[in-house]
Structure 1
Amino acid sequence: MLSKAYIPYKGYYSSPFARWQGSMANEHAIILAAETTKRWLAEKNMDPAVFDYVYLGLTVHQHQGFYGGPWAAGLMGAG
C-alpha cells in the first residue's frame, strides 16, 4: 500500500503542539495544524493539491475531531 511513499529532503516540519498545555491551550488543534501546514506549504511553494491522502492522529480529542482529516485537508487547501 505505501510502497511508493517517501518524505523528501526538507519536506517535513514539526508542529507547535509541544505547547498545547501552555499558551496554546485554548487553540483548536485541527485548525492550528491546518493553518500551520498551509503556511508551511506556501513558504515552500508547494501546492496543497499534491496530497492524495491526509492522515490525522489525535492524542487528545478535539471538538469535531471525528471528521478532522477531511476538515484539515479543506482548511489547508488540499481537498
Structure 2
Amino acid sequence: MDEPRDPRPAADSGPRLVAAHTSLTPIQEAWGAYARHQLRCRLCADLDAGPCAIAGQLRQAWETLTREAFARLAGETA
C-alpha cells in the first residue's frame, strides 16, 4: 500500500523562527566586548600581569549598564 506509516505533523508544530535582525541587549553586547578582549589580549592572558586598562574600561562599562538595568527593574530610576 502507498499510505504513510506515521501521521503527518501539523503545519505549525515546528519550532518558532527567530527574526534575522534580532540583536543582543546592550548588557550582552558589553559583556561580549569584554570577553572578546580578554581572549585576544596578551596582557590579559598573562596571569601575573592581570587585566589591562582596556579590559578594565570594558568591564566598567558592563558593570555600569548592569547596575542601571537593576535600578530600572527595582523602580529606582525612570
TM-score for the superposition, normalised by structure 1: 0.30
Structure with more relative contact order (C-alpha pairs < 8 Å, separation 6 or more)? 1
- Structure with the higher helix share, 1 or 2: 2
